[in-house]
Amino acid sequence: MADPGRRRAVAATLAVVVVAATAWLATRAHGGSGRDDASHGDASHGGAASGKADASRPTAPQPSHAAAPPGLAAAESGLLPWHMAAPLSREVAAAAPGRLLVFGGLTAGAQSADQVYAVRTATGTVQRAGTLTAPLHDAAAAVLPGGRAFVFGGGSPATVAGVQSYPLLGGGGAARAGALPEPRSDAQAVSVGAVTYLVGGYDGSRADAWVLATTDGRSYRKVAELPVPVRYPAVAALGGRIYAFGGQAVTGPHAGAPVSVIQAIDPARGTAAVAGDLPEPLAGAMAVTVGGELFVAGGESRAARRPVPGLGTTQLTGQPTASAGSSGGTQTVSTIWAYDPGASRLLAAGQLQVPVSHAAIVVAGATAWIVGGESNGALVSAVQMIRPDRALGTAGAPGAGSPFFGASLLIADRANNRLLLLDSSSRVVWRYPSPGAPRFYYPDDAFFTDHGTAIISNQEQNETVVKIAYPSGKIIWSYGHPGRAGTAPGYLHEPDDAYLLRNGQITVADAMNCRVLVINANRTVAHQIGTDGVCVHNPPSSMGSPNGDTPLADGNLLVSEVNGTWVSEYTPTGKLVWTVRLPVGYPSDPQQIGPDKYLLADYSAPGQMLEFTRKGKVLYRYAPASGPGRLNHPSLAELLPSGVLMANDDYNDRMVAVDPATGALVWQYGITGKAGTAPGQLNIPDGFDLLLPDGSTPTHPVTG
């Protein structure tokens, strides 16, 4: 990494390789995460007066054990780099081979839509595929035997009883398939085997408490009656039972308000009973069963919200939104819960990247997809994903859903002149410097050393490298002269990527001097690679402005050169092992992540993360040209143990984590494009490191 002035000066001399950045480009299916893409377990879905369970209502038998199942995985939640063509809420969706079908919904201006869209999740391509027989919103949808999707009821704008069908393959117009026994909107559909059930909703003035069952979309039978009739419940099936979470009260003293009741329906017995309570009243939430685990996500609540750093519609930069009108005194929820049916309770499992309610949700393969929705009064075009992921923790544990679950994240917040340490719940637990500490200026990188008892950091603009005791903050070693650049012994000129080696030496890319130094603990130079002031790629005698010098397992150094966009491996004594020129604008901080697999950040706008081989073959590229995933001068990318890629997105003032298998943004700290010092804000973050509880550093395990 390097400072902005030096980067601009060097960039002007580059022979820049033009990289075509598409909305999302992956040259292969990424295998680093080791995640299972096979579908298993139930895969059912629903879409979209507070109070506790009332003793007068039927109550489901309670289990004798209350401990959470040890197998409940946290939720990986991601915001896709592509989106719908326009903001949309209260639509429904169905899974078709290779695509999602999205039906109707509300558009800007609160107009019902009759469009059918086909969304290809592998590429993000969104196309208009056909039309409904009439505009609809707040309907229910499911796939029935025979290869057709059925859309039940809805508002148009009055509540209707009509049922429409649409082919999963092909396109065109929907066909009339029959009618419900009564008009119904605001209900949810869920399938158990070959039977589809309609749960909740109302007829335009009164609640409809009956759970209806159908196998063909034309004939219906009553299965059970909800003890608490609601609109907008979140509904999903698990283990042969159907669960309705929350919803909006239709009558009584809490009419129009979210409720907290959990209702369980047993189709085999024809019963429905209260099974428990939500952590907070919710309406318009989404429920889904994927990978054998049931999640409840988002919704609207009147409960007070605690801000979550980096979450919210600020991540929707470049995506269209529209006003949805008043939210009725509620706020949109970002929490994802995992449902424990044994204890009938919800355990926090993660966070939606963009809080939404009244969105379509559908399972395709091993992933649940959330399309559009409403976020605190705004219609959004975002597409999000959810799936269980044990690498991101355990539901109910602090930090569940974090890509660095169980670890601590060190951030070099360069333009704020500070280091921050976050726990996996994104809370700042340590910062440097403390009041009265020595001058600390423009920390460009920071890495833990000595089993997590110290931190080494290079201050580019201060021309120094310092080693700081952790957690005391005492400076225990330094090299360079503060504010004074030079080439003489003891001097540096914009030092970059300082690492402690296992033998006690320190390596640093001395960028503007065009050399890499290996420095002894007594501050003498053990080795120098490159020639002072000769800034062209001519190995092994000279190198073009090195900005990375990562230690490798074989004892060598992986060096990136800005001039000419080269990456090379050198021995510490300066012998060249291999070198390759890459199709990037500005290579930054390469890392080895496999026997012949390397990762680097392209410090450009838009930026990218690139995996490559020693021969220069590109294995994977993440390079969104627009939307929330667009990177603005990322300077360091790392593969985390959880299988996701993390990068400091410098000029977007944020840290991000991306699932390479989907391209989804699965975590963010910082508000996109808004620098600051408040909790949840950064200012040109330029380096990071991960520390495990045992003091190990998984992203650079061969350092000291």
4-23+402-691 and 45-388 agree in CATH topology? yes
Q: What are the domain boundaries of the chain?
A: 4-23+402-691, 45-388
CA nearest to 25, candidates 122, 126, 127: 122
The answer on pLDDT for 30 being more than 70 is no
589 or 170, higher pLDDT: 589
Average pLDDT over residues 108-128: 93
The answer on pLDDT for 271 being more than 70 is yes
In sequence order, which residues have a C-beta less than 8 Å from that of residue 701 and are 6 or more positions away? 553
Q: How far apart are CA 183 and CA 201, in angstroms?
A: 10
Q: How far apart are CA 244 and CA 585, in angstroms?
A: 52
Q: What are phi and psi of 11, to 5 degrees?
A: -60, -30
Q: Would strands 506-510 and 374-375 be described as parallel, antiparallel, or unpaired?
A: unpaired
Q: How far apart are CA 234 and CA 368, in angstroms?
A: 14
Q: How far apart are CA 696 and CA 684, in angstroms?
A: 26
* Start-end of H helices in 567-686: none
The answer on pLDDT for 185 being more than 80 is yes
- Confidence class for position 11, pLDDT limits 50, 70, 90: very low
- Confidence class for position 309, pLDDT limits 50, 70, 90: low
Average pLDDT over residues 453-473: 96
Q: What is the pLDDT of residue 28?
A: 33
Please report the DSSP string for 116-169 in residue order. Answer: EEEE-TTT--EEEEEEEEEEEBS-EEEEETTTEEEEE--BSSSB--EEEEEESS
Average pLDDT over residues 260-279: 97
- Confidence class for position 65, pLDDT limits 50, 70, 90: very low
Q: How far apart are CA 315 and CA 686, in angstroms?
A: 20
Q: Does domain 4-23+402-691 have CATH number 1.10.10.1100?
A: no
**Token pair for 57:** 């209502």
Q: Please state which of the ranges 63-67, 516-520, 561-565, 649-653 shows the lowest mean pLDDT.
A: 63-67
**Is the Cα dihedral 475, 476, 479, 481 positive or negative?**
positive
**Is the Cα dihedral 595, 596, 602, 607 positive or negative?**
negative
Q: How far apart are CA 495 and CA 688, in angstroms?
A: 16
Q: How far apart are CA 668 and CA 138, in angstroms?
A: 31
The answer on pLDDT for 437 being more than 50 is yes
Q: What is the 3-class SS of 363-430, one letter each residue? A: EECCEEEEECCEECCEEECEEEEEEECHHHCECCCCCCCCCCCCCEEEEEEHHHCEEEEECCCCCEEE
Q: How far apart are CA 296 and CA 294, in angstroms?
A: 7
Burial of 35 (0-12, 13-18, 19+ CB in 10 A): buried
Q: Would strands 172-173 and 126-136 be described as parallel, antiparallel, or unpaired?
A: parallel
Q: What is the pLDDT of residue 473?
A: 95
Q: Does domain 45-388 have CATH number 2.120.10.80?
A: yes
Q: What is the pLDDT of residue 40?
A: 28
The number of beta carbons lying within 10 Å of the beta carbon of residue 348 is 19
- CA distances (Å), 275 to each of 58, 252, 263, 299, in order? 9, 21, 5, 20
The answer on pLDDT for 7 being more than 50 is no
Please report the DSSP string for 466-530 in residue order. Answer: EEEETTT--EEEEEEBTTBB-SSTT-BSSEEEEEEBTTS-EEEEEGGGTEEEEE-TTS-EEEEES
**Token pair for 352:** 């939606």
The answer on pLDDT for 35 being more than 70 is no
Most confident of 75-79, 166-170, 303-307: 75-79
The answer on pLDDT for 644 being more than 50 is yes
Q: How far apart are CA 218 and CA 551, in angstroms?
A: 67
pLDDT in tens, 88-106: 999 999 999 999 999 999 9
The answer on pLDDT for 84 being more than 80 is yes
Q: What is the pLDDT of residue 312?
A: 58
Q: In whole numbers, what is the pLDDT of the chain averaged over residues?
A: 89
Please report the DSSP string for 73-89 in residue order. Answer: BPEEEEEEEEE-SS--B
- Confidence class for position 324, pLDDT limits 50, 70, 90: low
Partner residues linked to 255 by β-bridges = none
**Token pair for 654:** 């944020």
CA nearest to 226, candidates 58, 61, 46, 343: 58
Q: How far apart are CA 669 and CA 685, in angstroms?
A: 10
- Confidence class for position 190, pLDDT limits 50, 70, 90: very high
> 388-420: string of b/e by CB count within 10 Å (b at 16+)?
bbebbbbbbbebbbbbbbbbbbbbbbbbbbbbb
The answer on pLDDT for 39 being more than 60 is no
Q: Would strands 576-581 and 566-570 be described as parallel, antiparallel, or unpaired?
A: antiparallel
The number of beta carbons lying within 10 Å of the beta carbon of residue 206 is 11
Q: What is the pLDDT of residue 42?
A: 34
pTM, full prediction: 0.89
Check: CB of residue 507 under 8 Å from CB of residue 499.
yes
Check: CB of residue 262 under 8 Å from CB of residue 276.
yes
Tell me the helices (H) and strands (E) count for the chain, helix number first. 1, 58
Over the Cα atoms of the chain, what is R_g? 28
Q: How far apart are CA 622 and CA 661, in angstroms?
A: 10
146 or 49, higher pLDDT: 146
Q: What is the pLDDT of residue 322?
A: 60
CA nearest to 484, candidates 455, 449, 459: 459
The answer on pLDDT for 513 being more than 60 is yes
Burial of 545 (0-12, 13-18, 19+ CB in 10 A): buried
Calculated CA dihedral for residues 140, 332, 122, 171, nearest 10 degrees: 30
Q: What is the pLDDT of residue 15?
A: 32
256 or 54, higher pLDDT: 256
**Token pair for 73:** 């995985």
Average pLDDT over residues 664-676: 94
Check: CB of residue 577 under 8 Å from CB of residue 566.
no
The answer on pLDDT for 21 being more than 60 is no
Q: What is the pLDDT of residue 445?
A: 95
Burial of 58 (0-12, 13-18, 19+ CB in 10 A): middle
